[in-house]
């Protein structure tokens, strides 16, 4: 429990709501216990004309009419309606309170988890699937909701209801009350079997479904091969087989579930039967009234649901614990990318505040004199990047970069080439500090990147990646992604420079058109031009281009290359490219192989040297690359 | 067994959709019969449930004078003289009826789930078969994920309409009818009173069902924004961090959370109101029956058991009424999926066997394009008036810039598409007059993207000829320079490939694709950049091996490398959708035209 104290704080913030909810829950228990009594009154004292117990007649004492059969009937009917009204009122209050307080508590936690997660190093994220990370925000935070419900609210209500109903039953017939309380646990135990298909059956079903999914994926993506080899008939048969298996698996799992349920049903009905049988005999013997047995029958159902709640506490807690651990893991992880001590604060909420604009302004003014005084570089001279002997591996024992030193002076274009897996992307990712090298250091404008506030560092760097990562927001918002306050004029001029204005104008709502997921409604070249416009608008002195032209559609390559040229002008550029034709005009070409620099120099120098680069150049030569004249 | 003839148009009315679904259910007559019979049985048993209790209360505990039917029972049951035995009988009957109803419920759910699933997969199979035959033009436009969803998720709409709308409707009508009939025979006056709550419930349902559905949908949409926001953030995290968007995202999440709470509260409010109003019907009905029933009982017209019977039926009214009201909504919400399914069925097969299509034997391999014009989008032709002829055994290279139409041109030969204008001929016959199957049997292709299937290596190679022997498979693999690496795989030729052949390198996958095409042994061979991922040595070796195989086949090869182009007998240089120049490599270089300039430009 101690470990979870940080999480309980989130519940603590809603304590006033929870106090109200607890009070309402008690009230609900009282009302539930009172439910069958008007019926009893009608049956026993109106119809069967049994004398009223002294307490009740005292309660109704004053009015003579109330004690007559029509009067008592009116009391019974009115009481029933009154109970309904009270019940409704309590339920409304309870549900509303719990909806707001429960969700608020979950969302407070999820906001903090989200804030932490999106600031974590890409290294951490590279180890986790997106779905897993998402579920920490969207699923795991619900552990609080379940825990509070399972530990505080439901059990309190259940215990109260159990005590109350037992007390009331005992008033009617002690022996039958004891039998009832003895029968209920068996009924509950049996009910846990209801609808629980064996896990194996469920797994089998899921497996077959995912095989169907995979088969569809295969055939529909490979449809040219299927058609070219005229195999449609065979694929259909194979699908039919999967479909038959899926239906059989579903039947099997339903059947198993049904058999389990059958046992549970038997126990439940037998339990009810036992109470009914004993009760009826007691009625015959005169130990219980007819109305009394009706009360017992109603309570039997109430008791079942309450005992079930109590029995569920343990499971609910265990489920909540798994989520709590995962949420805590995020909240308590030490930051992988520590920022300068003088500027950082501790604690989760402080972490979220770190980049407020005003704080940032203060930091900026504090930072400039430092840079000038200690290094003697004027702040206008920007875009100098140096990676010094950096070593890095996603797993510590398997380095991807093994001591690489690269320098780019302001305005230089440094091209990185090499086979996939050589470490090109990893190398450039060190510059905006997506993660830190295990050895060596990275300097921007003469200062180590670890000395910058992350935000200040990343403001100097623009990226255009292979995958443009557009969001399903409007075109204008996508372009202004790094500068949300940019004016429409600025956005449009960035789009013009990126050769994107024209196609944007053709979209249904122009700049206000909302894009599909991942820009699905645009072609590859259009998406990449938006990414370029986005980088242009950011107007940073350092530019990282990671294979910006590898996923382009025909006919727009030229437009993209023109746009890239404008983007690169006057900036320090790190360019990763597959096609060697795009890199030949770089100031320097760095050839990476197995995590080290194999050779380095201009295009002509490297060709003259006749080693790796020269060989690739001969091999890879493609006469069709329209790019060769466009990328300066 | 095809659904196509009866499939309504995508914009069919809900009633038409229901008829379509019933038609699909009728394809599984036996299952449908089982579902119907169980439903009726269960309705009957449920109606009997309160009767032992009535018997117990009135004729055992209250010892009223038994009417004829009760007397018959009491005489029929052994040991019925003693009240204790009668109690036991009543309890036994209650237990039996409850258990029977429970068991019938399970049988019913088993039968209806089975039938529903069967219907879904019948439909999915038809859908899949139809999708497979649609032209590549359709598949190029349509995302694969979208089509998968249509087959896997949207096909479930038939089960939804059948199991969650039509079946509950039938059950509800039957049980309402039975309950009302029974009550009417027992006591018509009180029946009318009990039925008075029905219009009230109907009005409440009518008034609230739609708003609840709408608000529920809105709440889901708003909640979905939470998921989208986190998904977007974490799947584009490099950009988020590079553009310093973290703080804005925090704000967006907080806003989405607030909106979700508001939307949930709005939904909860309506749900509560609905629940209370429905509860009011039951509460008021109970009160009324208790009031009038008891007065009648006091006057001696009615027994306590009958009052209990009425009360228990009143409690059972709600469910069937609700399902009647919900039927329309369920069909409406399934209509979206149904539309996506029907859209596929209503997409015509563009490439089809015409009536009287001829089956072609083994072709000689003469390919002729006559003035062929084709494009993927109307008014944007990719190929414009292409004409050429390839002799049997010739090796023709297609060269030109990316987007010049090389792959498109090659795709017209196996009739992945039909040209807008002009004709493609094989051995002097328009390919449109041949059966698709026989045409494609004559063409082997190696595509840019090798597309391997999650089958064994041997099965992949034998994809076009499932009956090939192991020796033939190995020979093809050797010719494709794939035998060595296959032999080094854990289970050799029986190694099952991972998703899309991901465990192999691109070069290895390309070689398997070549082996697959070679084993097919067709007179026409189309190679679309088959060696782009191979290193120079392997490529050289492979091309040398291919050369012998190409010698007696008509080969079309799309290639970028000089070394490859040099080996061909003729090069068609495409530009802007037309054949700009044609001739051998040397001829074209000597001519000093576009092709030559292309090379000199380097």
In this predicted model, what pLDDT tens digit does every residue of B526-561 receive, in sequence order? 988 777 666 666 777 777 777 777 778 899 998 777
Q: What would the pLDDT profile of A431-476 be if each residue is shown by its tens digit? A: 999 889 999 999 999 899 998 888 888 888 998 887 788 887 899 9
Strands A596-601 and A588-593: antiparallel
Of residues A353 and B163, more confidence is placed in: B163
Q: Which of A312, A34, A328, A6 is nearest to A153 (CA)?
A: A312
List, in sequence order, every residue forming a beta bridge with A542; answer none if it has no partner: A461, A572
DSSP run (H or E) holding B444:
strand B443-446
Average pLDDT, rounded, for chain B: 85
Q: What would the pLDDT profile of B30-70 be if each residue is shown by its tens digit? A: 999 999 999 999 999 999 988 988 888 888 888 888 888 88
Q: For the whole model, what pTM was predicted?
A: 0.72
**pLDDT beneath 50: ranges in chain A:** 195, 343-381, 554, 621-632
Cβ–Cβ gap B602/A214 under 8 Å: no
- Count the residues in chain A: 632
Q: What is the mean pLDDT of residues B445-461?
A: 85
Contacting residues of B for A31, CB less than 8 Å apart: none
Q: Which of B347, B332, B411, B348 is nearest to B376 (CA)?
A: B411
Q: Which of B362, B364, B367, B363 is nearest to B570 (CA)?
A: B367
Whether B600 has its CB under 8 Å from any CB of chain A: the answer is no
Separation in Å, CA B406 to CA A437, A557, B218, B409, B560: 46, 17, 49, 5, 11
**Nearest-angstrom CA–CA distance, A343 and A345:** 7
Give every CB contact of residue B463 below 8 A, 6+ residues apart in sequence: A225, A229, A231, B453, B455, B516
Contacting residues of A for B464, CB less than 8 Å apart: 229-231
CATH 1.20.1560.10 occupies which residues in chain B?
14-345
CATH of domain B14-345: 1.20.1560.10
List, in sequence order, every residue forming a beta bridge with A398; answer none if it has no partner: A395
Cβ–Cβ gap A472/B280 under 8 Å: no
Q: Which of B80, B275, B308 is nearest to A297 (CA)?
A: B308
List, in sequence order, every residue forming a beta bridge with B456; answer none if it has no partner: B496
Which of residues 561 through 580 in chain B touch A, CB cutoff 8 A?
Answer: 561-562
Q: Which of A267, A86, A292, A60 is nearest to A176 (CA)?
A: A292
Contacting residues of A for B284, CB less than 8 Å apart: 81
Angle between helix axes B144-152 and A199-221 (nearest 10 degrees) is 140
- Count the residues in chain B: 602
Contacting residues of A for B466, CB less than 8 Å apart: 234
Coil vs helix vs strand at B219: helix
**Nearest-angstrom CA–CA distance, B338 and B3:** 13
In this complex, the residue of B90, B129, B447 whose CB is nearest that of residue A224 is B447
Separation in Å, CA B318 to CA A91, B46, B192, B207, B280: 20, 14, 16, 15, 12
Strands B367-374 and B383-390: antiparallel
A18 in Cβ contact with A148 (< 8 Å): yes
Give every CB contact of residue A2 below 8 A, 6+ residues apart in sequence: none
- Exposed e or buried b for every residue in A51-73, given b needs 16+ CB within 10 A? eeeeebeeeeeeeeeebeeeebb
Measured between CA atoms, the residue of chain B closest to residue A270 is B95
**Nearest-angstrom CA–CA distance, A141 and A264:** 34
SS (H, E, C) B348-414: CCCCCCCCCCECCCCCCCCEEEEEEEECCECCECCEEEEEEEECCCCEEEEEECCCCCHHHHHHCCC
Write down the pLDDT at residue B80: 74
CATH of domain B367-601: 3.40.50.300
SS (H, E, C) B489-544: CCCHHHCECCHHHCCCCHHHHHHHHHHHHHHHCCCEEEEECCCCCCCHHHHHHHHH
Write down the pLDDT at residue A627: 34
Whether A103 has its CB under 8 Å from any CB of chain B: the answer is yes
How close, in Å, is residue B328 to chain A by CA atoms?
A: 27
Q: What would the pLDDT profile of B369-398 be if each residue is shown by its tens digit? A: 999 999 877 777 889 999 999 999 899 999
Of residues A613 and B413, more confidence is placed in: B413
How close, in Å, is residue A218 to chain B by CA atoms?
A: 6
Which of residues 443 through 482 in chain A touch B, CB cutoff 8 A?
Answer: 455, 458-459, 461-463, 465, 469, 471-472, 481-482
Coil vs helix vs strand at B29: helix
Which of residues 86 through 125 in chain B touch A, CB cutoff 8 A?
Answer: 87-88, 90-92, 94-95, 98-99, 102-103, 106-107, 109-110, 113-114, 117-118, 121-122, 124-125
**Nearest-angstrom CA–CA distance, A146 and A106:** 10
Interface ipTM above 0.95: no
A474 in Cβ contact with A512 (< 8 Å): yes
Give the dihedral of Cα atoms A512, A514, A519, A523; nearest 10 deg.
-60
How close, in Å, is residue B97 to chain A by CA atoms?
A: 9
Q: Which of A114, A545, A570 is nearest to B246 (CA)?
A: A114
Separation in Å, CA A58 to CA A71, A453, A587, B23, B80: 15, 79, 103, 68, 43
Cβ–Cβ gap A262/B128 under 8 Å: no
How close, in Å, is residue B221 to chain A by CA atoms?
A: 15
Residue at token pair 């139809």: B130
**Nearest-angstrom CA–CA distance, A564 and B237:** 23
Write down the pLDDT at residue A349: 39
Q: What is the DSSP letter of B434?
A: B
**Nearest-angstrom CA–CA distance, A191 and A59:** 41
A53 in Cβ contact with A130 (< 8 Å): no
Residue A621 half-sphere exposure, CB side, CA atoms within 13 Å?
17
Separation in Å, CA A400 to CA A396, A417, A427, A454, B207: 9, 15, 9, 24, 65
**Nearest-angstrom CA–CA distance, A252 and A231:** 32
Coil vs helix vs strand at A559: helix
Which of residues 257 through 296 in chain A touch B, CB cutoff 8 A?
Answer: 258, 261-262, 265-266, 268-270, 272-273, 276-277, 280-281, 283-284, 290, 294
In this complex, the residue of B83, B254, B298 whose CB is nearest that of residue A47 is B298
B362-366, B497-501, B506-510 — which is least confidently predicted? B497-501
Write down the pLDDT at residue A102: 92
Which of residues 334 through 363 in chain A touch B, CB cutoff 8 A?
Answer: 352, 355-356
Contacting residues of A for B279, CB less than 8 Å apart: 84, 88
Q: Which of B351, B500, B338, B346 is nearest to B434 (CA)?
A: B351
Q: What would the pLDDT profile of B278-326 be if each residue is shown by its tens digit? A: 888 888 888 898 899 988 888 888 888 888 888 888 888 777 877 777 7
**Nearest-angstrom CA–CA distance, B303 and B58:** 7
**Nearest-angstrom CA–CA distance, B146 and B137:** 15
**Nearest-angstrom CA–CA distance, B225 and B214:** 17
In this complex, the residue of A39, A111, A216 whose CB is nearest that of residue B253 is A111
Mutate to test the interface with B, among A220, A233, A285, A297 (most CBs of B within 10 A): A220
Task: Name the maximum alpha-carbon separation found in chain B.
Answer: 120
Whether B269 has its CB under 8 Å from any CB of chain A: the answer is yes
Separation in Å, CA B370 to CA A368, B429, B498, B579: 72, 12, 43, 12
Q: What would the pLDDT profile of B193-219 be if each residue is shown by its tens digit? A: 888 888 888 888 888 888 888 888 888
How close, in Å, is residue B445 to chain A by CA atoms?
A: 7
**Nearest-angstrom CA–CA distance, A449 and A461:** 12
**Nearest-angstrom CA–CA distance, A305 and A187:** 10
B450 in Cβ contact with B500 (< 8 Å): no
The token pair that represents B15 in the structure block = 């009633």
Whether B69 has its CB under 8 Å from any CB of chain A: the answer is no
């Amino acid at each position: 429990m101690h470990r979870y104290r940080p999480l309980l704080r989130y519940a603590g913030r809603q304590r006033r709501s929870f106090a109200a909810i607890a009070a309402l829950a008690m009230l609900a228990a009282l009302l539930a216990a009172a439910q069958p009594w008007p019926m009893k009154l009608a049956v026993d004292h109106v119809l069967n004309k049994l004398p009223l117990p002294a307490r009740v007649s005292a309660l109704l004492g004053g009015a003579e009419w109330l004690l007559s059969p029509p009067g008592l009937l009116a009391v019974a009917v009115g009481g029933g309606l009154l109970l309904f009204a009270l019940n409704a009122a309590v339920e409304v209050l309870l549900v509303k309170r719990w909806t707001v307080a429960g969700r608020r508590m979950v969302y407070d936690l999820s906001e903090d988890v989200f804030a932490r997660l999106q600031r974590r190093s890409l290294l951490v994220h590279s180890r986790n699937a997106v779905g897993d990370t998402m579920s920490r925000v969207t699923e795991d935070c619900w552990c609080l909701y379940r825990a509070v419900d399972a530990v505080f609210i439901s059990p309190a209500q259940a215990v109260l209801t159990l005590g109350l109903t037992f007390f009331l039953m005992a008033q009617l017939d002690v022996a039958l009350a004891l039998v009832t309380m003895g029968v209920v646990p068996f009924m509950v135990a049996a009910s846990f079997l209801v609808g629980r298909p064996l896990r194996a059956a469920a797994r089998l079903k899921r497996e077959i479904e995912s095989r169907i999914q995979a088969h569809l994926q295969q055939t529909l993506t490979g449809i040219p091969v299927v058609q070219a080899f005229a195999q449609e008939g065979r694929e259909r048969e194979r699908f039919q087989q999967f479909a038959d298996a899926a239906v059989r698996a579903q039947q099997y799992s339903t059947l198993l579930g049904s058999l389990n349920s059958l046992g549970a049903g038997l126990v439940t009905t037998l339990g009810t039967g036992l109470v009914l049988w004993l009760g009826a005999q007691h009625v015959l013997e005169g130990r219980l009234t007819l109305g009394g047995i009706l009360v017992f029958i109603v309570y039997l159902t109430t008791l079942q649901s309450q005992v079930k709640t109590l029995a569920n506490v343990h499971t609910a807690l265990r489920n909540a614990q798994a989520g709590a651990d995962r949420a805590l893991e995020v909240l308590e992880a030490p930051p992988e990318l520590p920022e300068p001590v003088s500027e950082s604060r501790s604690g989760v909420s402080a972490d979220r505040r770190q980049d407020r604009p005003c704080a940032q302004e203060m930091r900026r003014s504090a930072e400039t004199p430092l840079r000038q005084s200690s290094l003697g570089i004027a702040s206008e001279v920007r875009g100098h990047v140096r990676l010094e002997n950096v070593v890095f591996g996603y797993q510590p024992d398997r380095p991807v970069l093994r001591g690489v030193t690269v320098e780019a002076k302001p305005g230089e274009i440094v091209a990185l080439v090499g086979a996939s897996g050589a470490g090109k992307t990893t190398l450039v990712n060190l510059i905006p500090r997506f993660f830190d090298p295990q050895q060596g250091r990275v300097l921007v404008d003469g200062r180590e990147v670890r000395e910058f506030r992350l935000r200040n560092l990343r403001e100097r760097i623009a990226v255009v990646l292979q995958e443009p990562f557009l969001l399903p927001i409007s075109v204008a918002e996508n372009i202004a992604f790094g500068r949300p306050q940019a004016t429409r004029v600025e956005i449009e001029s960035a789009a013009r420079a990126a050769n994107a204005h024209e196609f944007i104008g053709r979209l249904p709502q122009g700049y206000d058109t909302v894009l599909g997921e991942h820009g699905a409604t645009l072609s590859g070249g259009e998406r990449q031009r938006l990414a370029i416009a986005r980088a242009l608008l950011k107007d940073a002195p350092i530019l990282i281009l990671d294979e910006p032209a590898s996923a382009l559609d025909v006919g727009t390559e030229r437009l993209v290359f023109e746009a890239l040229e404008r983007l690169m002008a006057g900036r320090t550029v790190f360019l990763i490219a597959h096609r060697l034709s795009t890199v030949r005009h770089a100031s320097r070409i760095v050839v990476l192989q197995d995590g080290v620099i194999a050779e380095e120099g201009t295009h002509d120098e490297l060709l003259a040297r006749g080693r790796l680069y020269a060989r690739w150049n001969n091999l890879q030569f493609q006469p069709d690359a329209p790019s060769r004249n466009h990328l300066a | 067994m095809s659904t196509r003839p009866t499939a309504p148009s995508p914009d069919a009315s809900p009633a038409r959709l229901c008829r379509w679904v019933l038609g699909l259910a009728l394809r599984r007559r036996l299952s449908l019969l089982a579902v119907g019979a169980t439903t009726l049985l269960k309705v009957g048993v449920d109606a009997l449930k309160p009767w032992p209790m009535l018997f117990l209360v009135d004729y055992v505990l209250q010892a009223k004078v038994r009417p004829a039917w009760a007397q018959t029972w009491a005489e029929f049951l052994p040991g019925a003289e003693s009240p204790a035995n009668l109690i036991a009988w009543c309890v036994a009957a209650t237990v039996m009826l409850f258990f029977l109803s429970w068991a019938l419920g399970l049988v019913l759910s088993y039968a209806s789930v089975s039938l529903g699933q069967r219907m879904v997969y019948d439909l999915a199979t038809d859908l899949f078969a139809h999708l497979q035959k649609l032209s590549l033009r359709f598949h190029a436009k349509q995302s694969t994920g979208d089509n998968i969803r249509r087959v896997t998720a949207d096909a479930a709409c038939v089960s939804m309409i059948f199991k969650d709308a039509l079946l509950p409707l039938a059950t509800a009508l039957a049980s309402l009818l039975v309950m009302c009939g029974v009550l009417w025979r027992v006591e018509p006056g009180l029946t009318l009173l009990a039925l008075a709550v029905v219009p009230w419930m109907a009005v409440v349902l009518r008034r609230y069902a739609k708003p609840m559905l709408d608000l529920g949908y809105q709440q889901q949409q708003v909640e979905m924004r939470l998921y989208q926001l986190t998904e977007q953030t974490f799947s584009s995290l490099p950009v988020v961090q590079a553009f310093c968007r973290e703080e804005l995202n925090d704000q967006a999440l907080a806003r989405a959370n607030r909106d979700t709470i508001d939307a949930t509260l709005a939904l909860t409010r309506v749900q509560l109101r609905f629940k209370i109003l429905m509860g009011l019907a039951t509460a008021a009905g109970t009160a009324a029956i208790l009031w009038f029933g008891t007065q009648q009982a006091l006057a001696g017209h009615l027994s306590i058991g009958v009052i209990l019977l009425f009360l228990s039926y009143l409690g059972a009214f709600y469910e069937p009424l609700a399902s009647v009201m919900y039927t329309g909504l369920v069909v409406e919400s399934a209509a979206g999926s149904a539309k996506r399914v029907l859209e596929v069925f209503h997409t015509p097969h563009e490439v089809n066997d015409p009536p009287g299509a001829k089956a072609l034997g083994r072709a000689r391999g003469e390919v002729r394009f006559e003035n062929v014009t084709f494009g993927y989008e109307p008014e944007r032709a990719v190929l414009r008036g292409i004409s050429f002829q390839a002799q049997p055994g010739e090796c023709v290279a297609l060269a030109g810039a990316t987007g010049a139409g090389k792959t498109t041109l090659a795709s017209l030969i196996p009739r992945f598409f039909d040209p807008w204008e002009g004709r493609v001929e094989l051995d002097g016959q328009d390919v449109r007059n041949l059966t698709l199957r026989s045409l494609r049997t004559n063409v082997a292709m190696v595509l840019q993207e090798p597309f391997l299937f999650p089958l064994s290596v041997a099965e992949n190679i034998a994809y076009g000829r499932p009956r090939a022997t192991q020796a033939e498979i190995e020979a093809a693999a050797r010719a494709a320079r794939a035998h060595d690496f296959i032999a080094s795989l854990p289970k050799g030729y029986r190694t099952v490939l991972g998703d899309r052949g991901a465990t192999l390198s691109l070069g290895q996958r390309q070689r398997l694709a070549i082996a697959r095409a070679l084993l097919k042994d067709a007179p026409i061979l189309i190679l679309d950049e088959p060696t782009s991922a191979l290193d120079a040595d392997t490529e050289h070796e492979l091309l040398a091996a291919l050369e012998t195989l190409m010698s007696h086949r008509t080969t079309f090869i799309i290639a970028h490398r000089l070394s490859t182009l040099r080996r061909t007998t003729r090069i068609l240089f495409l530009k802007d959708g037309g054949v700009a120049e044609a001739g051998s490599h040397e001829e074209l270089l000597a001519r000093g035209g576009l092709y030559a300039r292309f090379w000199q430009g380097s």
